Copies of this chain bind each other. A is one copy, B any other.
Amino acid sequence: MLSGPSGVGKSTVVTEVRRTHPEIWVSVSATTRRPRPGETHGRNYFFVDHAEFAAMVERGDLLEYAEFAGNFYGTPRGPVLERLEAGTPVLLEIELQGARQIRASLPEALLVFLAPPSWDELVRRLVGRGTEAADVIARRLETAQVELAAESEFDATVVNASVEGAAADLVSLMGLSASDQR
């Protein structure tokens, strides 16, 4: 499982892993948020309404779930367990709020924290194009400070100095050869 602070580049690293290691299965989350242009049901997310999401919660069908800005995101349990039973390498990309639930729901998972190369680099990414209000950015940096401290809860850390390097480190932690491109 890969997690880490907002803005650290989790999805970019996962995209690189997909590219270099298509044999790794990446979990698809269920969400109540509306699809964005170009997003496909079943590939980017399983787009469900709140009633369907509530039914999944009630049945215990989710390995983890969390709410962000009124939308719910969760990891369906069934597809993950099927792949693990079949011996397929599985990668979960999960926001920090949900990551701590994985330790309980999937105790055999290796919890990997994606860290920025430096605090300054994370600030640069979170400040972005500088088009946002100063108080929004200040709050984002305060949040990042706490998110970085969560590293101590993880089994391993990968530093995102380069996307290629971080993807290779992650693959190596999964016990796969970094050059393995079946």
Contact residues of A with B, CB < 8 Å? 32, 50-51, 53-55, 57-60, 66-67, 70, 72, 97, 100-101, 103-104, 139, 142-143, 145-146, 148-153
The copy count of this chain in the complex is: 2
CB distance A143 to B70 under 8 Å? yes
- Is B60's CB under 8 angstroms from A146's CB? no
Complex interface: chain B residues within 8 A of A55 (CB): 149
Measured CB to CB, the closest approach of chain B to A39, in angstroms, equals 20
Cα A151 to Cα B54 in complex, Å, equals 11
Given contacts A70-B139, A142-B32, A142-B50, contact A58 B152 (CB under 8 A): yes
A59 to chain B, nearest CB (A): 8
A–B Cβ pairs within 8 angstroms, 22 of them: A32-B142, A32-B146, A50-B142, A50-B143, A50-B146, A54-B145, A54-B146, A54-B149, A55-B149, A57-B146, A57-B152, A58-B151, A58-B152, A59-B152, A60-B152, A66-B97, A67-B97, A67-B146, A70-B139, A70-B142, A101-B101, A104-B104
**Neighbouring B residues of A60 by C-beta, 8 Å:** 152-153
Top 9 A-B residue pairs of the complex, sorted by shortest distance between their CB atoms: A54-B149, A57-B149, A58-B149, A50-B142, A104-B104, A70-B139, A54-B146, A50-B145, A54-B145
